[in-house]
Amino acid sequence: MIAPAGDVRVLVIEDDPAIQRFLRNTLRVQHYDVREAETAAEGLSLARQVNPEIVILDLGLPDMDGMDVIRRIRQFSKVPIVVLSSRSDEDGKVTALDLGADDYVTKPFGVEELMARLRTALRHRFASEGSPPVFSSGGLVVDLTRRLVSVNGRDVKLSRKEFDILRELVIHAGKVLTHRHLLRVAWGSETGADVQYLRVYIRQIRQKLEPSSNQPRYVLTEPGVGYRLQVFD
Amino acid sequence: MSELIGRHSSLLRSAAPIGRISDSLRRRRVSRVLDAARIILLCTLLVAVFAVLGLVIEHYLHVPNILLVFLPPVLVVAVRYGFVAAAFTSLLCVAATSYFSHPVYSFAVADPGSIWALLIFVVVAAYTSNLAAKIEQRAEAESRQNRIIGQLHAFSSRLAALSSIDEIAAEAVAQIGRILHTDLVLLIPTDGALRMLLGGADAQLEPGDRLAAHACAAQRRPAGHGTDLFPAAIRYYRPLETDRGLVGVLGLNAPRVEPDGELDADEGRLLDALCDQLAVSLDRARLADEMHATAMLAETEKLRSALLTSVSHDLKTPLASILGNVSSLRQYWSLYDEATRDEMLAFAEDETLRLGQFVENFLQMTRLDAGAVRPHLEDVDLSDLIGAALQRTEKQTAGHVVRTELPDDLPMVRLDFVLAEHVLVNVIDNAAKYSPQGSTITLAAAAEPDRLRIDVLDEGLGIREEDLKHLFERFFRAGAADHRRAGVGLGLTICKGFVEAMGGTIEAANRKDRTGAVITVRLPRAPANEGRIARQEEGE
């Protein structure tokens, strides 16, 4: 099978035939070059062979723990990994993200959600060489080098820590960042700072940025996992 | 119960009074021996006084037979000190009479009338003393019976106040042990075997005693020590029976500390009565247990059938519409225009989401039932939580106005973010479902002394009074407005389970200011340390 030039090569590691077929059809229509594996072993060897640009990984594979698959892929590749996870398994999502997965989609999921996650993950792959110094989306403008923030033209003054947190969210705009990730950024590695410190800062950031801090537009909460900066396409 | 007491008391009263002289009677006899000297002295004094009285009477009134004057002291002594003392007094009287009659100051019996008088005195003394003793014995027996009835009554009323077999057994063993001054064991037939409930010795029964207890249970007659069934056993076992069969076996420590070790007739009858009472109480408790188990079973059955009805209705309905739409599209694709196809597919998509929600709820309910919900409590900013919940319910509340009323200075609240979000999503979803399009859903929060309170208010018709208390029950759907696209009736049950797992409460009411329902969730406040973080921020 020869993929048309320019198509993004995606590796789908999924053992359920129905979901596999749905992903295959959907992704092909969206001009992805789809490669498939039904087991973790097969997936790992394909990941080496075909050098995919993005990986969709089901955490519940029959032959290996999904976490181990992430760990092994990360040993040789920085390829974005989007995890398919089941609902009410927040701990699993966090573990996957901390191990190096880029994002997750919760089953059952709609096609829009999956595509948005894939686009975000791919955007970061391209941008990781050097993110643009000024981020602008939906009225929020963040100048990373000059440390300036404005919302709808109104300047916002953030404290140093608040800006550090926002900058990390901006750098990974659209991606979910775990509590631990953000804590490490703001307080250095493993200081033992508590998630509630982070919550206090997020509240303060929201009070300064959001038109209504109770219905945030920019900084979204992913319950039990972390935060995500909304990107308005 | 009172009928039973009546039966026992009449049984006690009709029984022959005394088998053995009781403690108080025995004590009196001992004191009689000890005080014999005192009694002799008293009798002599009494006779002397009456002798003087007799002399005075004879001197002034010239009564022919002075002997009659001595009748009262004889009677008094007979009543008070019994026959022997009375006979002795009679003798003294006759002696005194002879001494004072002609010839004066000599003990020679002048006439045979005195001999007759002496005989009559002795007979009267015997009769009187016997009468007095009988009266006393009767009083004694009566007071003992009263005491026994009192003990029985106290025993039965104590047992009546208890409801579980274990409580009754513990109380009965303690009470009977105290009344009869012995240690006891109580065994209850459970699942075809005798279960040792408790006793002075909490260890296992000795092998010989186990045999005796089982023989007692099997043959429904006393066994063990002092019987012909396994007499080598340490204890004496007797069956506790009612009309409905054996309810237990009571074992008494036979070698009592008492002198001869055996129970006397009175104690035997008391034991009979106590055992009857205990048997009735145990039977009552067993009956109550059985009824409770039956009720539980019925409840479980009811739940199961409700679940089945619910599942078949609520899972099959969306499946039917998904299948119908999809198969129809596949079969007649070209017959539909673009807009209809789109509509059918959108409908199938919505139904699938609904199905997903049902499945999710069933999973959560199963987790709750299995006790697998262990909240991961952390201190959370309420606006964060509410924001997340509103974000998740954007689709459901698209046709509503959503308003939040959160004071800026709300303290942190201690909760499990994921569970709490699930609760709010469910409650907001309900509010949207049961209130008209275009109306307002309000989320208000307020700090209470040690809790944080979240109210979700809608502008629907509210909840019927009679439904309020069932709202959080499994499979309950308010108002039976069944054509609505409601859930399985698990949503609020799960909310309640989650909120309680986090140490909070959830309740439903109707709005006071207008029509509409209000669901109130209260969650514990976090310990106040937010100020510290805020100060640290200012210091930067």
Q: How confident is the model at residue A39 (pLDDT cuts 50, 70, 90)?
A: very high
Q: What percent of chain B has pLDDT over 70?
A: 80
Task: Tell me: pLDDT of A70 over 90.
Answer: yes
pLDDT at B338: 93
The pLDDT tens digits of the residues spanning B11-38 come to 333 333 333 445 656 666 666 667 778 8
Cβ neighbors of B289 (< 8 A, separation 6 or more) are B164, B165
pTM: 0.56
Q: Classify each residue of B194-206 as buried b or exposed e, where b means 16 or more C-beta atoms within 10 Å of its C-beta.
A: bebbbbeeeeebe
Interface touch B402/A215, C-beta < 8 Å: yes
Residues B493, B472: Cα–Cα separation, whole Å? 5
Q: Classify each residue of B230-249 as buried b or exposed e, where b means 16 or more C-beta atoms within 10 Å of its C-beta.
A: beebbbbbbbbbbeeebbbb
Backbone angles phi, psi at A222, to 5 degrees: -105, 100
pLDDT at B232: 83
pLDDT at B52: 84
Interface touch A223/B418, C-beta < 8 Å: yes
Q: Which residue of A has its CA nearest to B355?
A: A108
Q: How confident is the model at residue A34 (pLDDT cuts 50, 70, 90)?
A: very high
Question: Which of 129-168 (B) contact A at CB < 8 A?
Answer: none
What is chain A's percent helix, strand, coil content, to nearest 5? 40, 25, 35
- Does A187 contact chain B (CB < 8 Å)? no
Mean pLDDT lowest among B204-208, B449-453, B505-509: B204-208
Mean pLDDT lowest among B47-61, B148-162, B279-293, B392-406: B47-61
pLDDT at A87: 63
- Does B74 contact chain A (CB < 8 Å)? no
pLDDT at B379: 83
Q: Classify each residue of B44-66 as buried b or exposed e, where b means 16 or more C-beta atoms within 10 Å of its C-beta.
A: eebbeebbeebeeebeeeeeeeb
Min CA distance, B391 vs chain A (Å)? 7
The pLDDT tens digits of the residues spanning B138-182 come to 988 888 888 888 888 888 888 888 888 888 888 888 888 888 877
Min CA distance, B441 vs chain A (Å)? 14
pLDDT at B540: 42
Task: Please name the member of A87, A213, A224 whose beta carbon is closest to the beta carbon of B383.
Answer: A213
pLDDT at B236: 86
Query: What ipTM does the predicted assembly reach?
Result: 0.73
Task: Tell me: pLDDT of A75 over 80.
Answer: yes
Higher-confidence residue: B77 or B118?
B77
The pLDDT tens digits of the residues spanning B240-267 come to 988 888 888 888 876 554 445 566 777 7
What mean pLDDT value characterizes chain A? 87
Q: How confident is the model at residue B60 (pLDDT cuts 50, 70, 90)?
A: confident
Give the residue-averaged pLDDT of A80-99: 87
Residues A226, A220: Cα–Cα separation, whole Å? 9
Min CA distance, A183 vs chain B (Å)? 14
The pLDDT tens digits of the residues spanning B379-398 come to 888 888 898 899 888 888 88
Cβ neighbors of B197 (< 8 A, separation 6 or more) are B165, B166, B169, B170, B173, B186, B187, B188, B248
pLDDT at B1: 40
Task: Tell me: pLDDT of B313 over 80.
Answer: no
The pLDDT tens digits of the residues spanning B75-93 come to 888 888 888 888 888 888 8
Task: Tell me: pLDDT of A151 over 80.
Answer: yes
pLDDT at B480: 45
Task: Tell me: pLDDT of B5 over 90.
Answer: no
| DSSP SS3 for B247 | strand
- Does B394 contact chain A (CB < 8 Å)? no
